[in-house]
Structure 1
Amino acid sequence: MQNRQIVLSNRPDGIPGPEHFSAKTTELDLTLAEGQIAVKNIYLSIDPAMRGWVSLEPNYLPPVQIDEVMRSICVGEIVDSKHPDYAKGDTVYGIFGWQEYCVCEPNPMVRKINPELAPISSALGALGPNGLTAYLVLNELGKIEAGETVLISTAAGGVGSIAGQIAKIKGCKVIGLTGSDDKVEMCVNEFGYDHALNYKTTENLEKAIAELAPEGINVFFDNTSGAIADAVYPNLAMNARALQVGTAAVESWEPETPLGPRRDRHILTKRLTVMGFVLIDHTAKAPAALQQLAQWYTQGELKYRENITEGLENAPQALADLYKGANTGKQLIKV
């Protein structure tokens, strides 16, 4: 059987684009060994983390190698199985890559999806890694409480939009930072934020945040780092929690780490807690979190948006567009 794939053809220096990938077709043997499954991909996830995956910078996963299929979380259908826990026809989620088919042995990341609960694409977003990240960061690391003020960067994105809604469900005051006036309106009118700011057009972002949160920010959900975070740290309250979820605003960490304002004094004098989050460290807590997310969804308390681009060949361009902020919601590829 022929299998279309998108592979990393050369390593980017900074943000990856279509020029760093190439398409190829390989022959795939669907004769399975015991314990293996064969998956036909339906949706591929496009994520900010992919920039780190294709870089040689130290990261939580090894870098994708040249001529290797681009790593991606996917949803697909099992077309054959020799694993006792998975059957032909099951819908599954896992790291199956930018390709039509994947043959693998299920690892702890692979899980079955109930297609009757919600559209299966939601397993890559609100009812998948985006929702899990938002839920676990706010509840396990941030330990948010009713009445606190939470600030979220990339507030209209796949993770940020869910985080904002969860914080509101928990009774918090929620402020969002996003990159366009349309997204500001979306945050407030669709996702329920109390306030949102366009960081690109706000003349003095630090001052604008201070006016919206005169008593300070208790929990900072930081998807960006960089200059955006620099405007937030002076506004953090005593004993605030700064949760590093992404570094989307930093184009490259090589050859030299980019420098910004020193945050040490804020950390010291305000007794801040600063923590990093990587989803794969929290897989044991995923089932309970997914159950709660599904409950909120079925009750109509959780909304989400998706950008779905047709065609495997368009995955590299969709990734480049993601870093430009062109998406509103979770970016997916329909194979």
Structure 2
Amino acid sequence: MKLNKQTPVPILFIPNLVRFSQLENIPIQPILDELGIKTDLLHIETLTIPYTVLCELISKMLEQSGDPLLGLRFGESFVFEYLPEMGTFISTSETPRVALEALSWVSVLMAPFLALEITEKGGLAYLHCDLPNETPEPVMRFFVESVFSTILFLGNAFIRDAYVIEKVVLGYKLQGPLLSYQQLFSCTIEAGAQANMLLVPSSVLDLSMNPPMPELHKQAEDLMEERLSRVQKRGDFIDQVRTLLMEHDRPVGIGHIAKLLDVTTRTLQRRLKEKNTSFSALQDNAKFHYAKKLLVETHESMDVISQLLGFSDRRSFSRAFSRWSDEAPSDYRKRLLGVSRVRKNTLR
């Protein structure tokens, strides 16, 4: 899964971590202070933190705890505290299949770093859980096990004994005792695989849940759609700036973009700040996009590319590219061109 390191994550996710840390006696406030994370509940729908900062937060929590099963317990304790309509939608659904429609909302409103998908084949339903490639493995384990544990908890709560998991597949080696996973999920555990999947019989998705409440369910769905609409409107302005930056062949300045949007430079800066980002951050993303194209699609030297992208010298460009991708531009060019040559040879 591809995701920029600075992809914003809503702080809606943070209160659950705070509450869980208190239950686990993990001193989380010093960690929040160290990372500069402010849990402003008055603006909880609009504030975000970079994905890398969230990864640092989880890493430090894991270090403080020292418990390899922390993700499993977090999943069991998870609540939709600041998304009550989502919890209501799930609990009033007629079947698990309907309830799982909420997964798409989770990715947009709470955890854009999670790619959750359900596929069905041969009488089995596969819940896939994917994270960005650059996610540290301990953090990946925490999130994957949190998701699977939450699904288990909700299934047991709403369809009880009829809920059966056939298999849990994990794309990493277990750090905790295998027996703990087997006892929790009551099924076969396959670790060190190529993907993260939770397998259940397809028939489970169509079982009746608790007595359905269609009116309340519809109200919850409408409220979720309203919330999604608000989020999408907040993102529109950022998308406009990002689109305009990408439409140019070379980086352009803030004054030019402000003129295209028919706003002053100061207004543009203020509106981006309100959305917890900046023109320089969006411009960096655009420069990264241009840099990759120039490295792969042209034979320009590093000096020329540096100049085209507005850097003072190739050293500044190299530092910036390494910050964006954890890879030197020369290594990126060699790797991508090498892949291209392999593909061409394969097609011959």
Higher RCO (CA-CA < 8 Å; seq separation 6+): 1
What's the TM-score, normalizing by structure 2?
Answer: 0.22
Larger Cα-atom Rg: 2
Q: Larger % of helix: which?
A: 2
Q: Larger % of strand: which?
A: 1
